[in-house]
Homo-oligomer: A and B are copies of this chain.
Amino acid sequence: MRLGIDVGATAIKSGLVDDRYNVTGKRSRPTDARDAAAFLSDLADIGRSYRGSAKITSVGIGLPGQVDPHKGTLVDSTNLALADVPVADTLSRELGVPAFVGNDANCAMFGEVYAGEGVTTPNLIMVTVGTGIGGGIRINGKIYRGRNESAGEFGHMCVNFSGVTCRCGATGCWEAYASVTALIRQTRDAAGQYPQSLLARLIEEGGGAVDGRTAFIAAKAGCPVAEQVVETYAGYLAVGIDNLLIIFRPDKVVLAGAVMNEGDFLVSRIKEKIRFPDQLCISKLHSHAGIIGAAVLGEVYRDHKQFV
């Protein structure tokens, strides 16, 4: 069994992946990135927790930032505010097996290519919606990464040049509108504007907490304000997806990330707003894509020499 660890800005998910890409023993814990020591201690703890349950042959870690696959390090991560962290060494020592690191958006793509839509789809665009928006490109059956392995930063494509400033400093980036971070902001703004709405009351009852599901829960409960948040958010997602469809005319654009668990309630709205709705789908791997992609990093690095 290969152990896959998918490190996100808010949670670390992990699981064991068998030869048929089934995921078992899935676990999740909040990401603690106070400092490199705390972060590595948690990763070692996760590794240890699997030692009794199966014979582990390798471990892969997907990380939200730039990685060095040779050194096995997290080079730099804006989301975690960490740099130069020896992730692979720590886990390799803990488990006594080879350890590999990869970028998280790449891992979602690798999962899709090895176990999901990619198996039968030579031209595939992967869009992972989370704290930011990451992407992956597969052309003629091969993963394409471009200069410095950094193609596919779809989140920083400009969709509104007269719009808001992104945290990257540029104007009108897609993820400034369509990431889950943006959705949370849009949800808060709508609730603030309509304090009598069901949405606002739900948030108040929950002690003020808002996450990527809040607007969907309220919309499904019939709140017109939340309904409008979801509809507008679907429109923001549609603009960037439509661009990718026009630019690549791929066989498929595959959507991943926890927000896609909303399924058709979200995706049917996106499909209404894009030019080639038949080419859009949700990852069948759901939130497993990142775990599977991390678990197969050893294979990926063997099969695709350009990644190491």
Contacts and interface: CB of A to CB of B under 8 A. Distances in A.
B160 A161 contact: yes
A248 B244 CA distance: 11
Interface string A80-103: 000000000000000000000000
Integer count of this chain's copies in the complex: 2
A264 interface: no
A196 interface: no
Contact of A153 (B137, B151, B247): B247
Contacts of A68: none
B246 A156 contact: yes
B139 A123 contact: no
B160 A160 contact: yes
Nearest to A147: B249
A176 B280 CA distance: 26
Nearest to A250: B146
A104 interface: no
Contacts of A49: none
Contact of A144 (B139, B148, B157, B159): B139
A96 B248 CA distance: 38
A154 interface: yes
A246 B172 CA distance: 14
Nearest to A306: B140
A77 interface: no
A134 interface: no
Contact of A249 (B146, B242, B279): B146
Nearest to A151: B249
Contacts of A137: 248
A149 to B, nearest CB: 8
A36 interface: no
A18 B276 CA distance: 42
Which of A154, A239, A275, A276 neighbours the largest number of chain B CB atoms within 10 Å of its CB? Answer: A239
A163 interface: yes
Contacts of A247: 135, 151-154, 157, 244, 247
Contacts of A170: 242, 275
Contact of A140 (B142, B161, B163, B239): B142
Given A162-B162, A239-B161, A246-B153, A123 B146 contact: yes
A279 to B, nearest CB: 7
25 contacts: A135-B247, A139-B140, A140-B144, A145-B249, A146-B248, A146-B249, A147-B249, A147-B250, A147-B251, A148-B249, A151-B248, A151-B249, A152-B249, A153-B246, A157-B246, A158-B239, A159-B159, A159-B160, A159-B161, A159-B172, A160-B161, A160-B172, A161-B163, A170-B275, A247-B247
Given A147-B279, A159-B159, 15 more contacts: A146-B250, A147-B249, A152-B249, A153-B247, A154-B247, A156-B246, A157-B246, A158-B159, A158-B242, A159-B160, A160-B160, A161-B163, A162-B162, A162-B163, A243-B243
